[in-house]
Amino acid sequence: MRWDLFKRAPGEESKMKVADVMTSGIETVDIGASASDAAKVMKLFHVGIVPVMVGERVAGVVTDRDLAVRILADAAGARWTPVVQAMSERYFSVPVDGELDEAIQLMSREGVSRLIVEGRNGRPVGVISVDDVSTKGSPEQALDLCRAIGTRRRDRGAKGAARMRTQH
C-alpha cells in the first residue's frame, strides 16, 4: 500500500468523524464495583478500558495497565479491591460527532492511546483507540499518532526515573 495515496492536499481537512472509526457498544462498571469486576468485563469483551460510572456520569476509567500497576503490583486482592482504587479520575473524551483529526491531536498531545467517546447526552457510547485509527484511519495518521504517543510516554518515563533516582 502506498502512503502517498492517503495524503491530503494542502489545506484539505479530514472529513472523517470520530464515529467513523470508534469501537461502539462500550461496557461500563458502577463506582461500587470491584477491580475484579472491571477485569472480568475487559476479559469478556476483549477491551483494555472500562468507564467507571456514578449514575449517568463517568467518574473515571480503569485500564488494563491500571489493574496491573495499581492492584497486581501491590499484591492486593482484586476481588476485594474497589474499582475506585484502580481507576484514573483523569481521562479524556471526545464527542461522537467530533472530527477524527481533533481526536488524534488530543491523543497525541496527552500521550494517551484511548479516548472515551461521548454521545450528545454525555454518556459513553464508545472508545477510540490507536488500534481503531490504525485499522480505520489512514496509515499516515496512525504512524504520526504512534510516534507522538511514544515520545510523550518516553518523556514521562524519563521524568519518573529521574524522580526515583533523586528519592534514593
DSSP string over the chain: --GGGTPPPTTPPP--BHHHH-EES---EETT-BHHHHHHHHHHHT-SEEEEEETTEEEEEEEHHHIIIIIITTT--TTTSBGGGT-BS---EEETTSBHHHHHHHHHHHT-SEEEEE-TTS-EEEEEEHHHHHHHS-HHHHHHHHHHHHHHHHHHHHHHHHHHHHH-
Q: Which band of pLDDT confidence, cut at 50, 70 and 90, is reported for residue 79?
A: low
Q: Which residues pair with 99 in a beta bridge?
A: 17
Q: Which band of pLDDT confidence, cut at 50, 70 and 90, is reported for residue 107?
A: very high
Q: Is pLDDT larger for residue 20 or for residue 153?
A: 20
Whether 138 contacts 32, CB under 8 Å: no
Q: Which band of pLDDT confidence, cut at 50, 70 and 90, is reported for residue 29?
A: very high
Q: Is pLDDT larger for residue 162 or for residue 19?
A: 19
Q: Is pLDDT larger for residue 77 or for residue 117?
A: 117
Phi, psi of 54 (to 5 degrees): -115, 100
- pLDDT averaged over every residue in the chain: 82
The three three-digit cell numbers of residue 69, written as one number: 500497576
Q: For residues 163 and 112, what is the distance between their CA atoms, to the nearest angstrom?
A: 21
The confidence score (pLDDT) of residue 37 equals 94
- Whether 5 shows a pLDDT value over 60: the answer reads no
